[in-house]
Amino acid sequence: MKLRKPSAKSRPTTLKVESLEPHRMHAEGKVLTTDQGIPISDTDNSLKAGVRGPTLLEDFHFREKMMRFDHERIPERAVHARGSGAHGYFQVYKSLEKYTQARFLTDPSLRTPVFVRFSTVGGSRGSADTVRDVRGFATKFYTEQGNFDLVGNNMPVFFIQDGIKFPDFVHAVKPEPHNEIPQASSAHDSLWDFVSLVPETSHMVMWLMSDRAIPRSYRMMEGFGVHTFRLVNAEGKAHLVKFHWKPLLGNHALAWDEAQKLSGKDPDFHRRDLWDAIEAGDFPEYELGLQIVPEGDELKYGFDLLDATKLLPEELVPVQRVGKLTLNRNPDNFFAETEQVAFCVANVVPGIDFTNDPLMQARLFSYLDTQLTRLGGPNFAELPINKPVCPVTNHQQDGFGRHTIPTSRANYHPNTLGGGCPVLSNPAMAFHHRQERVEGHKIRARSNSFSDHFSQATLFFKSLSKPEQEHVIAALEFEIGKVERVEIRERVVNQILVNIDAAMAVRVARAVGVEPPKATKPPKAKAAGKKGAPSVDASPALSMENSPHDSIKTRKIAALVSDGFAGKELDGVRKALAERGATLEVVGPTLSPVTSLEGREERPLRTFANTSSVTYDAVYVPGGEQSVAALKRVPQAVDFVREAYIHCKALALSADAVLLLSAAGVDDLEPAPTKGVEAMRGVVRSAKTESKGFGQLFAEAIAKRHWERERPLA
């Protein structure tokens, strides 16, 4: 099978991935045929009895073509229906054989092929990318020991503790059954009714209301394995582990108003961003981080590590960065790869094992059961995107969509007709479930170590910066304000929010029209942790504002121009941004060339009619009296500046261009400098064109959002 030539910046992987490549039919030298290979010379006209007569049943090409079209669609995923994927590879930095016998984690020379699928959770395939939602971050490692699927999210915790509640939660968050409204939104009665009655959702709800729920891009969000797994080494010694993905571009979010507008202007914003970055050779990179804990310490920290509604603060157990994931190739066909990829929590390799996390235990069954329906039967592992790169030999047979053609007479074990093959693995090379003593009465109950539902929700909220806390409050006011039933709003405020932070609950209550709760102390934690367990009052690692913001690589900046712009200055800023890996795109009144002060023509890539500030990371307006005067007459250009300012993005305006700030209604900055350059709250202004240091200050301002520009909420 012919392999596609890798991109210029990519390098070949150690493991060959022929099994991942879909069959391709190139147009060159090929003729149109039926699925049976019969050549077809006309696919525009059905076979009829006369040119105006009825279509004949014997037209096998028409019948096959329509039959295939009628059955193109497969059931969409119940959750994570809307997604985007990419190929790449993972490479560990140094051997982790002290902890695991998983070969892809013990051999630093090995590049393990991967396929990653990012997704929203609640919406259908046709929903928008930038809705407020959890994001899936699922990675399939095609290892020499079989496929390992790390099926996680961009948040480290989940809504429920026991998988038996998963259908209830999903039913509650999905569109309401009587009218199928709202799509891809948690701002409705049924979700908040569920939340108000199930306190274990409290911690995850705070994450959902935070900026984590509206990431800037898939390339700029963290990933988490959510559950506590086990690592087991060759000697059988086990450690508990939490998996993390850390994006090398940093952790960034959208503003809520910006995310809502993007849903209309470009509902494919995240998909497009991922695809375009890879096509441009700006390969997304993430480091794999591990929090490793001795097996006997699962209750050491005052909560239960098997509780999926809890996280392990990095201040207690630091994250060790052990390897890097690079995504360097887009899918060749969205359906064959991104839609048909089948992830399953049960897909583990020797050296990685499960724990008794009751949410994980449910997922071990649920994912496999789902694939049987969605992909038409038990042979989905033979689809190219799911097929392991290592040999697969067993006695499974038949069923829908069987690709393998067995030739042995023996389809059972043990046998002599097939020479005893396949033989059982050497025990040292095989997967072994970790041996542990299990005993107890059959009971429908939960451990007391799962009974603290509010302390980590409080920890999360108190760990956020002041702007991030304001965003959480604003999100709660928006979401709960959409709830029609007053009694549900009252329960959320008086039974959930007040136990997280009383001041927050009072503000939300006033905004959503319910009686503010009286000050109360949160209930004492009932976790069965060890006495004197280490704890933290706040975890700075949970704040996106505390994450590094020192890179502008791959950021997109809009330059607004019209005839008479300062061309030499534009070139200087473009160069300063390019040196730091950012891209400047010229936006003008039309796609026809505009002429600079120096007489040089510049052709805009976009116009004010087909783009806006929400699709860019920053906005720059070069000087030039004629250009600025023309831009002031274009409402969309003025809106570009106004929206960028409202959304707390970096702005750079030189010389005459500072006049656009007042035209945009920006009146809370100090007067513009009369000489030199200054940066104030992410707005870079210069007294004249080509001022020294202008481009550098602008580049520094682009690295983060300037939330200090937000006007305080009432």
CATH number at residue 568: 3.40.50.880
Take residue 622 and report the two structure tokens written for it. Answer: 């070069």
Q: State how far the Cα of 430 lies from the Cα of 452, in Å rounded to an integer.
A: 39
Q: Please check whether residues 179 and 284 belong to one and the same domain.
A: yes
What CATH number is attached to the domain comprising 508?
1.20.1370.20
Instruction: Identify the three-state secondary structure at position 693.
Output: coil
Is 433 one of the annotated active-site residues of the chain?
A: no
Among 432, 239, 443, residue whose Cα is nearest residue 348: 432
pLDDT band at 501 (very low <50, low <70, confident <90, very high): very high
Do residues 155 and 204 touch, judged by C-beta distance below 8 A? yes
Strands (E) across 306-426 are located at 320-329, 352-353
Q: Kindly tell me the burial class for residue 485, based on how many C-beta atoms sit within 10 Å of its own C-beta (0-12, 13-18, 19 or more).
A: exposed
Kindly state the average pLDDT of the residues 564-568: 96
Take residue 116 and report the two structure tokens written for it. Answer: 């990653």
Phi and psi torsions of 512, nearest 5°: -105, 10
Q: Is the pLDDT of residue 237 over 80?
A: yes
**Predicted pLDDT of residue 523:** 52
**Predicted pLDDT of residue 11:** 41
Q: Is 38 part of any domain?
A: yes
Q: Please check whether residues 265 and 143 belong to one and the same domain.
A: yes
Q: Please check whether residues 476 and 621 belong to one and the same domain.
A: no
Run of H or E including 595: strand 594-595
Q: Is 12 part of any domain?
A: no
**DSSP letter string, 413-429:** SS-STTTTPSPPPPTTT
Q: Please check whether residues 473 and 614 belong to one and the same domain.
A: no
Q: Please check whether residues 370 and 464 belong to one and the same domain.
A: no
Is 80 one of the annotated active-site residues of the chain?
A: yes
Q: Please check whether residues 344 and 485 belong to one and the same domain.
A: no
Do residues 436 and 234 touch, judged by C-beta distance below 8 A? no
Q: Is there a cis peptide before residue 358, judged by omega within 30 degrees of 0?
A: no
Q: Is the pLDDT of residue 15 over 60?
A: no
**Predicted pLDDT of residue 20:** 43
The CA angle 699-701-706, to the nearest 5 degrees, is: 155
Do residues 347 and 146 touch, judged by C-beta distance below 8 A? yes
Q: Compare 20 and 693 and report the one with higher pLDDT.
A: 693
Cα diameter, the chain: 93
Q: Please check whether residues 61 and 175 belong to one and the same domain.
A: no
Look at residues 488, 519, 543 and tell me which one is the last residue of a structural domain: 543
Say what angle helices 256-265 and 466-481 make with each other, to 10 degrees: 60
**Predicted pLDDT of residue 646:** 96
pLDDT 10s digits, 385-403 = 999 999 999 998 999 989 9
pLDDT 10s digits, 311-368 = 999 999 999 999 999 999 999 999 999 999 999 999 999 999 999 999 999 998 888 8
Tokens 């981080």 — which residue?
289
Phi and psi torsions of 286, nearest 5°: -140, 145
Among 84, 133, 129, residue whose Cα is nearest residue 278: 84
How much of the chain exceeds pLDDT 70, in percent? Answer: 94
Q: Is 637 part of any domain?
A: yes
Q: Which of 599-608, 649-658, 674-683, 686-695 has the lowest mean pLDDT?
A: 686-695
| Candidates 23, 45, 71, 80; catalytic one | 80
Q: Which of 183-197, 397-411, 429-443, 528-542 has the lowest mean pLDDT?
A: 528-542
Q: Is 533 part of any domain?
A: yes
Q: Please check whether residues 99 and 194 belong to one and the same domain.
A: yes
**DSSP letter string, 536-547:** -S--GGG-GGGS
**Predicted pLDDT of residue 25:** 46
**Predicted pLDDT of residue 133:** 98
Run of H or E including 239: strand 238-247
pLDDT band at 531 (very low <50, low <70, confident <90, very high): low
Kindly state the average pLDDT of the residues 461-466: 96
Q: Compare 440 and 256 and report the one with higher pLDDT.
A: 256
Q: Is 549 part of any domain?
A: no
Q: Is the pLDDT of residue 2 over 60?
A: no
Instruction: Work out the number of other CB atoms within 10 angstroms of the CB of residue 392.
Output: 14
Q: Is the pLDDT of residue 713 over 80?
A: no
**Predicted pLDDT of residue 691:** 81
Look at residues 331, 357, 382 and tell me which one is the last residue of a structural domain: 382
Do residues 654 and 622 touch, judged by C-beta distance below 8 A? yes
pLDDT 10s digits, 59-115 = 999 999 888 888 888 999 999 999 999 999 999 999 999 999 999 999 999 999 999
Supply the mean pLDDT for the chain.
Answer: 91
Do residues 431 and 348 touch, judged by C-beta distance below 8 A? yes
The structural domain count of the chain equals 4
Q: Please check whether residues 341 and 219 belong to one and the same domain.
A: yes
What CATH number is attached to the domain comprising 87?
2.40.180.10
Q: Is 10 part of any domain?
A: no
Q: Please check whether residues 164 and 192 belong to one and the same domain.
A: yes
Q: Kindly tell me the burial class for residue 619, based on how many C-beta atoms sit within 10 Å of its own C-beta (0-12, 13-18, 19 or more).
A: buried
Residue range of the domain that includes 284: 83-382
Q: Is the pLDDT of residue 530 over 90?
A: no
pLDDT 10s digits, 202-216 = 999 999 999 999 999
Look at residues 543, 565, 585 and tell me which one is the last residue of a structural domain: 543
Q: Please check whether residues 516 and 573 belong to one and the same domain.
A: no
Q: State how far the Cα of 117 lies from the Cα of 147, in Å rounded to an integer.
A: 15
Q: State how far the Cα of 292 lies from the Cα of 229, in Å rounded to an integer.
A: 10
Kindly state the average pLDDT of the residues 492-516: 96
Phi and psi torsions of 193, nearest 5°: -65, -45
Please give the model's pTM, rounded to 2 decimal places. 0.91
Q: Please check whether residues 221 and 361 belong to one and the same domain.
A: yes
Q: Is the pLDDT of residue 377 over 50?
A: yes
**Predicted pLDDT of residue 520:** 63
Run of H or E including 369: helix 358-374
Q: Is 22 part of any domain?
A: no
| Candidates 87, 147, 153, 188; catalytic one | 153
Kindly state the average pLDDT of the residues 516-526: 64
Kindly state the average pLDDT of the residues 230-247: 96
Q: Is 319 part of any domain?
A: yes
Phi and psi torsions of 572, nearest 5°: -65, -45
pLDDT band at 183 (very low <50, low <70, confident <90, very high): very high
Q: Is the pLDDT of residue 7 over 90?
A: no
Strands 285-294 and 320-329, by their bridges, are: antiparallel
Take residue 394 and report the two structure tokens written for it. Answer: 């067993």
**Predicted pLDDT of residue 29:** 59
Q: Is the pLDDT of residue 8 over 80?
A: no
